[in-house]
Amino acid sequence: MTSLYSGALSPEQVELAWVNSKASSASSTRPPSEIVWDAERPDVKPPWGDKISPVDRTLADYFVTAGLENLIAVLRAAVTETARANETLRIR
C-alpha cells in the first residue's frame, strides 16, 4: 500500500487497510527477533543488531511513535475511525 507512504489513503484504500488490519495479527504473535529491516535483503539486521529492548515482546511492540505509543495500535485506530467516517486518511 504505497499510498500510505505518500501521506494519504482514499476512503476505498482506508476500507482495504481496515480489513487488512483486522485480518493480520502476525505482528502481535511474532518475536521482535524476526524483524525484516530491509525488504530487498531480509538477512540485514537493524543498526543495533540483536540488542532488543525487553519491553519489545512482539513485533507489534517494536515500532513506537515519537510519543512512545504503539505505532500499530495508532494506525489501526486511525484506519478504523477514518473507515467509519468514510473519509480520506491523512498522515503527517
Question: Taking the domains of the chain in order of start, what are their residue ranges?
Answer: 3-83
pTM to 2 decimal places: 0.64
- Amino acid identity, position 14: V
pLDDT tier for residue 60 given thresholds of 50, 70 and 90: confident
User: What pLDDT score does 37 carry?
Assistant: 84
For the chain, give the percent of residues with pLDDT over 70: 85
Q: Which residues pair with 70 in a beta bridge?
A: 64
> Which triple of cell numbers denotes residue 64?
513506537
pLDDT in tens, 6-50: 778 888 887 777 666 664 566 778 888 888 888 899 888 888 888
User: What pLDDT score does 22 carry?
Assistant: 60
User: What pLDDT score does 67 carry?
Assistant: 92
Q: What rounded mean pLDDT belongs to the chain?
A: 80
User: What pLDDT score does 56 carry?
Assistant: 83
CA distance 83 to 18: 7
DSSP-derived secondary structure letter, 19: H
